[in-house]
Structure 1
Amino acid sequence: MKLRFSTPVFTGRLHDARTATSIGRWLGAAFAVCFVTGLISHFMQHPPDWAAGGIPSRPSWGYRLTQGLHVASGIAATPLLLAKLWTVYPRLFEWPPLRSPRHALERASVAVLVAGSVFELTTGLLNTVQWYPWPFSFVPVHYAVGWLVTGALLLHIAVKAPQIGAHWRRRSPGTLALPARDAADRRSLLTAVGASVGAVTLTTVGQSFTPLKAFLLFAPRHPDRGPQGLPVNRTAAAAGVGRVADREYRLFVAGPRPYTLTLDELRALPQHEVELPIACVEGWSRSARWSGVRVADLLERAGASPEVRVRVVSLQLRGGYRVSEMGHRHARDPLTLLALRLNGEELDPDHGYPARLIAPNRPGVLQTKWVGRLEVLS
Structure 2
Amino acid sequence: MKIRPPRPPRPSVSPFPTFSGKLHDARTATAIGRWLGAAITVCFITGVISHYLQHPPPWLANELPSRPYWGYRVTQGLHVASGIAAIPLLTAKLWTVYPRLFVRPPLTSVRHALERLSVAVLVAAAVFELFIGLLNTVQWYPWPFSFVPVHFAVAWLLVGALVLHIAVKYPQIRAHWTLRSPGTLELPADEGPDRRSLLTGVAAAVGAVTLTTVGQSFTPLGRFDLLAPRHPDHGTQGLPVNRTAAAAGLAGVSTEHWRLTLHGEGSSYELTLDDLKAMRQHTVTLPIACVEGWSKSARWTGVRVRDLLERAGARPGAAIRVVSLERRGSYRVMEMGGDYTRDPLTLLALRLNGQVLSLDHGFPARIIAPNRPGVLQTKWVTRMEVI
Tell whether the structures are fold-level matches, with TM greater than 0.5.
yes
Identity of aligned residues (%): 72
**How far apart, CA to CA, are the structure 1 residues paired with 2:287 and 2:223?**
19
Query: Which residue of structure 2 aligns with residue 301 of structure 1?
Result: 311
For 1:290, what is the secondary structure of its paired residue? strand
Letter in 2 for 1:239: A
For 2:122, what is the secondary structure of its paired residue? helix
Alpha carbons 2:303, 2:348 under 8 Å: kept: yes
Query: Which residue of structure 1 aligns with residue 4 of structure 2?
Result: none
Structure 1 segment 135-146 matched on structure 2, within 5 A: 135-146=144-155
For 1:248, what is the secondary structure of its paired residue? coil
Q: Aligned-pair distance for 1:317? A: 1.6
Structure 1 segment 213-252 matched on structure 2, within 5 A: 213-252=222-261
Q: Aligned-pair distance for 1:373? A: 0.4
Query: Which residue of structure 1 aligns with residue 77 of structure 2?
Result: 68
Structure 2 residue 280 is the aligned partner of structure 1 residue 270: yes
* Closer/same/farther in 2, CA of residues 262 and 78 from structure 1, 3 Å limit: same
Deviations 1:319-373 (A, max 9, x none): 2200111000001100000000000000000000000000000000000000000
For 1:259, what is the secondary structure of its paired residue? strand
Structure 2 residue 28 is the aligned partner of structure 1 residue 19: yes
**How far apart, CA to CA, are the structure 2 residues paired with 1:263 and 1:185?**
68
Q: Aligned-pair distance for 1:173? A: 4.9
Unaligned ranges ≥5, structure 2: 1-6
The aligned length equals 374
Larger radius of gyration: 2
Bigger CA drift: 236-245 or 58-67? 236-245
TM-score of the superposition, structure 1-length normalised? 0.96
**How far apart, CA to CA, are the structure 1 residues paired with 2:66 and 2:209?**
32
Structure 1 segment 1-378 matched on structure 2, within 5 A: 1=7, 2-6=9-13, 10-169=19-178, 171-173=180-182, 185-255=194-264, 256-377=266-387
For 2:30, what is the secondary structure of its paired residue? helix
Bigger CA drift: 255-264 or 133-142? 255-264
Q: Aligned-pair distance for 1:307? A: 3.7
Unaligned ranges ≥5, structure 1: none
**RMSD over aligned Cα atoms:** 1.7
**How far apart, CA to CA, are the structure 2 residues paired with 1:314 and 1:189?**
52
**How far apart, CA to CA, are the structure 1 residues paired with 2:213 and 2:193?**
28
Alpha carbons 1:276, 1:287 under 8 Å: kept: yes
For 2:62, what is the secondary structure of its paired residue? helix
**How far apart, CA to CA, are the structure 1 residues paired with 2:280 and 2:180?**
68
For 1:293, what is the secondary structure of its paired residue? strand
Deviations 1:81-105 (A, max 9, x none): 0000010001123221111010010
TM-score of the superposition, structure 2-length normalised? 0.94
Deviations 1:194-225 (A, max 9, x none): 00000000000000000000001100000011
Alpha carbons 1:15, 1:87 under 8 Å: kept: yes
Query: Which residue of structure 1 aligns with residue 3 of structure 2?
Result: none
Deviations 1:234-272 (A, max 9, x none): 000110112422221100001121000011111101000
